């Protein structure tokens, strides 16, 4: 069975739900209905999971989430494995400015842009744009930042009033909780609707809202 490795980017002032939403969706996905119970009993072996999920920061040191939570990433850019999918979360204005000016982070994102699947949540779309992954493409972001994205990157077709925009190997989500909708879509994209629906049911998430 197919198995995908997922790397979730972390940085200071990242919004918590931007990365924990996708983290939980990928980790709570299972190949079979009967695996859900094993998952809850912590009896599902890693090789039995559709996704292997890890977190990364630039230097591997702990980061402080927006509002103060401290998180210790699994890897740095230097020792991280090669991922099939990377998740790029966002943060408040200060984080948008700081990360866009960090060429090391932007280069890391760009390095996944040709052959891998790159997904962003909320204002993470700004980092994909800075990395050159959204040129002449459609994308979305947090509703409070749509005009800012449009003004900052006029070559992007900014889409409003949607949960996510799928452009093949690049998928962008709207604000914060929309990352859950998008990640369920990615589960369907990489596997099938059955797995996506099972995951939504497992985490008790309604895609109708």
Q: Residue 57: what pLDDT?
A: 98
Quote the percentage of the chain above a pLDDT of 70. Answer: 99
Is residue 207 predicted with pLDDT exceeding 80? no
- What is the average pLDDT score of the chain? 96
Structure tokens at 34: 């009967």
CA atoms of 134 and 118, how far apart (whole Å) = 11
Is residue 25 predicted with pLDDT exceeding 70? yes
pLDDT, tens digit, for every residue of 156-184?
Answer: 999 999 999 999 999 999 999 999 999 99
CA atoms of 159 and 115, how far apart (whole Å) = 24
Q: Residue 145: what pLDDT?
A: 97
Of the candidates 133, 136, 160, the one whose C-alpha atom is nearest the C-alpha of residue 146 is 160
Mean pLDDT of 133-146: 97
- Phi, psi at 86, each rounded to 5°: -120, 145
Please, what is the angle between helix 16-27 and helix 178-190, to 10°? 30
CA atoms of 74 and 56, how far apart (whole Å) = 6
Q: Is the dihedral of CA 31, 37, 40, 42 positive or negative?
A: negative
- Phi, psi at 139, each rounded to 5°: -160, 165
Residue pair 67/16 in contact by the 8 Å Cβ criterion: yes
Residue pair 116/84 in contact by the 8 Å Cβ criterion: yes
The CATH number, out of the four listed (3.90.230.10, 3.30.1360.120, 3.60.15.10, 3.40.50.880), of the domain defined by the range 4-202: 3.40.50.880
Place 1 in a pLDDT band, splitting at 50, 70 and 90. Answer: confident
Is residue 114 predicted with pLDDT exceeding 90? no
Q: Residue 209: what pLDDT?
A: 46
pLDDT, tens digit, for every residue of 46-99?
Answer: 999 999 999 999 999 999 999 999 999 999 999 999 999 999 999 999 999 999
Bridge-based pairing state of the strands 63-64 and 70-71: antiparallel
Is residue 147 predicted with pLDDT exceeding 80? yes
pLDDT, tens digit, for every residue of 35-51?
Answer: 999 999 999 999 999 99
Q: Residue 208: what pLDDT?
A: 62
């Amino acid at each position: 069975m197919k198995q995908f490795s997922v790397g979730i980017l972390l940085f200071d002032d990242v919004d918590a739900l931007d990365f924990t939403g996708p983290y939980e969706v990928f980790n709570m996905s299972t190949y079979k209905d009967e695996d859900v119970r094993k998952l809850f009993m912590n009896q599902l072996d890693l090789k039995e999971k559709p996704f292997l999920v890890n977190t990364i920061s630039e230097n591997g040191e702990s980061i402080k989430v927006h509002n103060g939570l401290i998180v210790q990433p699994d890897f740095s850019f230097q020792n991280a494995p090669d991922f099939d999918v990377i998740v790029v979360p966002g943060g408040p204005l200060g984080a948008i400015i700081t990360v866009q000016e960090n060429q090391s982070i932007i280069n890391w994102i760009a390095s996944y842009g040709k052959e891998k699947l790159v997904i962003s949540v909320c204002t993470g779309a700004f980092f994909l744009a800075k990395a050159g992954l959204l040129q002449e493409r459609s994308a979305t972001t947090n509703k409070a930042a749509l005009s800012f994205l449009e003004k900052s990157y006029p070559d992007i077709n900014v889409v409003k009033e949607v949960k996510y925009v799928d452009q093949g190997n690049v998928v962008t989500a709207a604000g914060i909780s929309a990352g859950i909708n998008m990640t369920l879509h990615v589960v369907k994209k990489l596997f099938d609707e059955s797995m996506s629906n099972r995951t939504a049911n497992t985490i008790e998430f309604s895609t109708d809202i």
